[in-house]
């Protein structure tokens, strides 16, 4: 991904409610090279931007959000690179996890 690029996916949600939203990013090599990745659900920001990840791929919490049933639009957007970053922004999306809380 280049700064300014985004990826949107349809995310089916069966029931209205409060959900803990989390993601797993997949690794390529020793680290995930990301810079200022931002996450959105139906154009609403989720959590804080992810600056960089090293080591094992953690489950990243994007917070608790009220979500309506239906197909929601989950978007990952790449922000500007920091001076410390490499040339490429590479990551894989292993899964998006919605855990209904109510």
* Cα Dmax for the chain: 43
Local structure of 96: helix, strand or coil: strand
CA pair distance 75, 79, nearest whole angstrom: 13
Q: What share of the chain is helix, strand, coil (3-state, %, to 5)?
A: 0, 65, 35
Residue 8 backbone phi and psi in degrees, to 5: -120, 140
Place of tokens 């089916």: 12
pLDDT, one tens digit per residue, over 6-63 is: 999 999 999 999 999 999 877 666 555 566 789 999 999 998 887 766 556 678 899 9
pLDDT at residue number 87: 56
Q: Are 22 and 97 in contact (CB under 8 A)?
A: yes
The full set of domain ranges for the chain reads 6-100
Fold adopted by 6-100: Jelly Rolls (2.60.120)
pLDDT at residue number 33: 59
Q: Are 68 and 15 in contact (CB under 8 A)?
A: no
Listed in sequence order, the residues at least 6 apart from 50 whose beta carbon sits closer than 8 Å to its beta carbon are 25, 34, 36, 37, 38, 39, 60
pLDDT at residue number 29: 60
């Amino acid at each position: 991904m280049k700064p300014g690029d985004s990826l949107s996916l349809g995310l089916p949600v069966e029931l209205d409610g409060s959900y803990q939203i989390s993601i797993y990013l997949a690794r390529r090599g020793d680290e995930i090279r990301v810079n200022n990745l931002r996450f959105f659900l139906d154009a609403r920001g989720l959590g804080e931007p992810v600056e960089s990840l090293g080591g094992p791929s953690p489950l990243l919490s994007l917070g608790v959000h009220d979500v309506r049933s239906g197909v929601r639009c989950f978007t990952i957007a790449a922000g500007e690179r920091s001076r410390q970053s490499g040339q490429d922004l590479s990551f894989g999306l292993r899964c998006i996890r919605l855990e209904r809380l109510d």
